[in-house]
């Protein structure tokens, strides 16, 4: 086995020609004599390879195989123990937001360029030859030769900086702790800094003139850091923590150890532009990335299939940190609505994947895997915490982190630590949840004083399965005297009976919605639960869960759309964020999928719910209203206008007119107002959006305008917008208006043909953005064209092999919607 011990990387980036020269010195160790050293490398040119011997450095022949992304160095003789290589190379500072890439920004009316790295999952090999696998940890020393006017950054503080006398300087950084290649970072550009006044370790790094907008992000970074240090019982291991805003960025953020990179809208806060939802999202993402400094950076997965150990924990702790500092924001209901709901929906498809993926190959984080690795994983951890208790889980996590610090771990290491802390059979329970694809549904039927429970895998399309899960079940039991009690147990087999007594009048499984499973009730109990929804005896979480499970059964063909719509009568007086957000989302999906008759009935329900909501909360945001009220208003504004709420439309149109005149609009309704402005506007509105996107200083404002850009109604304006998106919108953002357009009822009929006509341009986008576009367009635009779409992708997969799993997922979603439409209101 060959393992790296230390890398010394010398780089000379040229931001004029977008090239970089590199010299990489690698200290390796072998446990047996070797004649060849295989390294990972791609998109590099190699000039020389040398190995250190007793006589000094000796040249080595080498072979570079671009297709295999492999550089093989042939040693002059068999060598063992420690081997030191020096490799000279050259690469391109690309524009694809992967490896060592360039990012553009504006300064004083001129476009400028900086260069940064993005190495997860396996793109360090684009910048220097290495063993590019998370288990191959090593220490790193980086030095860069850059123009004297520029700033160089890396994971560690600067150790030395010297002028070279030719207008350039050499900047050397301190040695890193032992870490994986994907966490290495280096960058060069016109950066400016602000440092936190309470904790000097924390800095915000921006392009010139933007640091004044990073003060909130800086504060949130410090708070997240302090929470994690206290919760994990381990101090942050590095001497600095930089939060770096990058304009061109494919993902939301990246947890490079000590040098975390962010999309600008996820770090920078603009007082009159950033909404409450935007502020919360900034906090969540910062907390997520800082949680990674322990989960992923300090303790790294030993193989790609354990990547969930990084992302699931960081997702959960992103919410936990925010909930700690802002309990009034109601983040856990938002977690259910966003993360758990997205995971249940994705995981109900036949074409799903387990959280821990078999095979040990590189795992791409994309439309197929992200809802499982991030959202399902975090939801399962929340389920475990509900079963074991928060204190036991915290102690288990501390043991896990301390035991494997600066090393790698597998899932079993976490289960062992939790078992020790909780004294419960965690490993036996978790194997089914982590290693099996899918999730269970519990069918609950009453027989006198006994409750009969049967579990099976839940899928939208029929998928025979003998999977069984150990399900932590909690049941809220209601008796005839108006009292209730909660019973907790493990459902370990396929079936089980529970004594609930003859005086029980209703029962609610998954009380509090901490479990990751669906529940199906008999009609009599469902009616009893409906009464407890109406009088709000049930919690908002339970009220949300009942209707959400029912809608899942609509999608699986087990009940009719009409049954779901009729059950919503129990929510006539609903006033909580979570149930309203869930219902309005389900109704809008129904509206988009169904034919005219069913669509009108869904619209009538949605119109009624949204009308009652605005009658209660008002059109204008109020300074004293709750966080979730502000978020909900903006979320449903456009849907209410589409459903025909005239007064709401008049309000939003007036606000949009004010916006076009240069007046301000409250940040908490700005996105919805822009969307209505596009929906009700034409060419004149399009021209305004185009000018606004060119002049906007804030990425948050650009994101709002881009979302609205997908919302026009007139075909001529939609065609104009699509052309503008492909030709003028930056690559990092093209997917945003296109994905919104894929949910625009007026645009949907043309999106499939447009996709086919512009396939080459779309394929040139970042792979994750292309996959998002495919996943958005196909399920709705393919309705009525199922045979044509399936035939196209059959040839496409065979000939190109691109986005295969995303395409299969999108085709399955199309089949679900197609059947849902066919069964609508059938007897």
So which residues are the catalytic ones?
A: 289
- Contact call for residues 819 and 784 (beta carbons, < 8 A): no
User: Mind giving me the DSSP string for 764-793?
Assistant: TS-HHHHHHHHHHHHHHHTTT-HHHHHHHH
Distance CA 179, CA 299 (A): 9
Return the SS3 of 753. Answer: helix
**Long-range contact set of residues 726-730: C-beta below 8 Å, sequence gap at least 24:** 726/758, 726/761, 728/690, 729/693, 730/104, 730/248
The secondary structure of the chain in percent helix, strand, coil, rounded to multiples of 5, reads 45, 25, 30
Which residues, 6+ apart, have CB-to-CB distance to 685 below 8 Å? 656, 660, 677, 678, 712, 717
HSE (side-chain half, CA atoms, 13 Å) at 502: 1
Q: Which two tokens stand for residue 538?
A: 């049930």
Strand order of the sheet with strand 471-479?
A: 484-491, 471-479, 504-509
Q: Which two tokens stand for residue 800?
A: 């190109």
E strand or H helix at 613? helix 596-617
Distance CA 644, CA 642 (A): 5
Task: Write the burial class of residue 370 (CB in 10 Å: 0-12 exposed, 13-18 middle, 19+ buried).
Answer: buried
Q: Which two tokens stand for residue 528?
A: 């009893």
CB burial string 676-705: b at 16+ within 10 A, e below: bbbbbbeeebbebbbebbeebebbbbbbbb
Report how far apart, in Å, the C-alpha atoms of 267 and of each of 199, 226, 618, 669, 698 are. 18, 18, 30, 21, 11
**374 DSSP 8-state letter:** I
**94 DSSP 8-state letter:** B
User: Mind giving me the DSSP string for 656-723?
Assistant: HHHHHTT----HHHHHHHHHHHHHH--HHHHHHHHHHHHH---HHHHHHHHHHHT---SHHHHHHHHH
Residue with tokens 């005896």: 537
CB burial string 732-755: b at 16+ within 10 A, e below: bbbbbbbbbbbbbebbbebbbebb
């Amino acid at each position: 086995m060959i393992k790296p011990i230390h890398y010394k990387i010398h780089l000379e980036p040229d931001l004029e020609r977008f090239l970089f020269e590199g010299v990489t010195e690698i200290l390796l160790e072998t446990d047996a004599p070797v004649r060849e050293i295989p390294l990972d490398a791609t998109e590099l040119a190699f000039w020389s390879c040398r190995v250190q011997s007793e006589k000094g450095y000796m040249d080595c022949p080498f072979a570079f195989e671009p297709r295999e992304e492999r550089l093989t160095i042939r040693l002059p003789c068999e060598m063992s123990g420690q081997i030191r290589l020096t490799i000279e190379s050259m690469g391109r500072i690309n524009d694809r937001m992967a490896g060592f890439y360039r990012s553009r920004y504006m300064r004083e009316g001129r476009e400028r360029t900086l260069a940064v790295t993005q190495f997860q999952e396996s793109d360090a090999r684009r910048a220097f030859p290495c063993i590019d696998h998370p288990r191959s940890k090593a220490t790193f020393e980086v030095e860069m030769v850059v123009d004297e006017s520029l700033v160089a950054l890396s994971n560690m503080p600067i150790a030395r900086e010297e002028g070279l006398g030719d207008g350039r300087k050499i900047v050397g950084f301190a040695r890193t702790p032992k870490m994986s290649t994907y966490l290495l970072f280096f960058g060069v550009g016109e950066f400016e800094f602000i440092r936190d006044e309470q904790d000097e370790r924390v800095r915000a790094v921006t392009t010139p003139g933007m640091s004044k907008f990073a003060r909130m992000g800086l504060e949130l970074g410090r708070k997240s850091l302090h929470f994690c240090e206290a919760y994990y019982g381990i101090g942050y291991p590095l001497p600095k923590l930089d939060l770096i805003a990058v304009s061109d960025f494919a993902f939301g953020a990246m947890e490079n150890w000590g040098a975390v990179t962010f999309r600008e809208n996820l770090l920078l806060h603009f007082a009159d532009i950033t909404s409450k939802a935007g502020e919360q999202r900034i906090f969540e993402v910062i907390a997520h990335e800082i949680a990674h400094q322990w989960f992923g950076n300090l303790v790294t997965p030993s193989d790609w299939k354990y990547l969930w150990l990084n992302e699931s924990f960081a997702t959960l702790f992103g919410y936990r940190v925010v909930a700690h500092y802002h309990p009034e924001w109601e983040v856990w209901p938002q977690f259910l609505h966003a993360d758990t709901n997205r995971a249940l929906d994705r995981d109900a498809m036949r074409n799903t994947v387990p959280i821990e993926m078999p095979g040990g190959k590189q795992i791409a984080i994309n439309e197929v895997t992200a809802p499982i690795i991030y959202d399902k994983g975090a939801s399962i951890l929340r389920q475990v915490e509900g079963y074991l208790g928060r204190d036991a889980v915290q102690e288990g996590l501390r043991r896990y982190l301390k035991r494997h610090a600066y090393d790698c771990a597998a899932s079993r290491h976490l289960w062992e630590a939790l078992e020790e802390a909780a004294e419960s059979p965690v490993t036996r329970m978790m194997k089914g949840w982590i290693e099996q694809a899918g999730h269970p549904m519990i069918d609950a039927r009453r027989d006198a004083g006994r409750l009969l429970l049967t579990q099976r895998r839940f899928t939208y399309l029929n998928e025979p399965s003998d999977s069984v899960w150990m399900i932590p079940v909690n049941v809220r039991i209601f008796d005839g005297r108006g009292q209730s009690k909660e019973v907790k147990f493990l459902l370990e087999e396929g079936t089980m009976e529970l004594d609930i007594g003859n005086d029980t009048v209703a029962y609610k499984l998954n009380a509090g919605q901490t479990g990751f499973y669906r529940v199906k009730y008999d009609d009599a109990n469902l009616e009893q639960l409906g009464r407890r929804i109406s009088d709000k005896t049930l919690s908002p979480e339970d009220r949300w869960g009942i209707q959400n499970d029912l809608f899942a059964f609509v999608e699986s063909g087990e009940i009719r759309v009409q049954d779901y719509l009729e059950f919503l009568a129990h929510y006539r007086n609903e006033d909580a964020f979570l149930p309203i957000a869930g219902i309005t989302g389900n109704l809008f999906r129904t509206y988009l999928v169904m034919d005219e008759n069913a669509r009108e009935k869904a619209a009538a329900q949605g119109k009624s719910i949204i009308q009652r909501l605005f009658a209660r909360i008002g059109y204008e945001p109020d300074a004293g209203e709750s966080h979730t009220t502000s978020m909900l208003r903006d979320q449903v504004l456009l849907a209410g206008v589409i459903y025909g709420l005239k007064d709401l439309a008049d309000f939003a149109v007036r606000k949009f007119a004010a916006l076009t005149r240069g007046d301000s609009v409250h940040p908490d309704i700005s996105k919805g107002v822009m969307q209505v402005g596009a929906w009700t506007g034409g060419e004149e509105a399009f021209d305004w959006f185009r000018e606004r996107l060119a002049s906007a200083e804030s990425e948050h404002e650009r994101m709002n305008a881009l979302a609205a850009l997908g919302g026009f109604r007139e075909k001529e304006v939609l065609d104009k917008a699509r052309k503008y998106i492909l030709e003028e919108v930056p690559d990092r953002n093209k997917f945003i208006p296109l994905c919104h357009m894929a949910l625009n009822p007026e645009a949907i009929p043309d999106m499939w043909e447009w996709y086919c006509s512009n396939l080459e341009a779309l394929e040139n986008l970042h792979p994750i953005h292309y996959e998002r576009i495919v996943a958005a367009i196909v399920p709705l635009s393919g309705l009525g064209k199922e045979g044509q779409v399936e035939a196209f992708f059959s040839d496409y997969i065979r000939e190109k092999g691109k986005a295969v799993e995303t395409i299969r997922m999108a085709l399955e979603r199309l089949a679900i919607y197609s059947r849902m439409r066919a069964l609508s209101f059938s007897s």
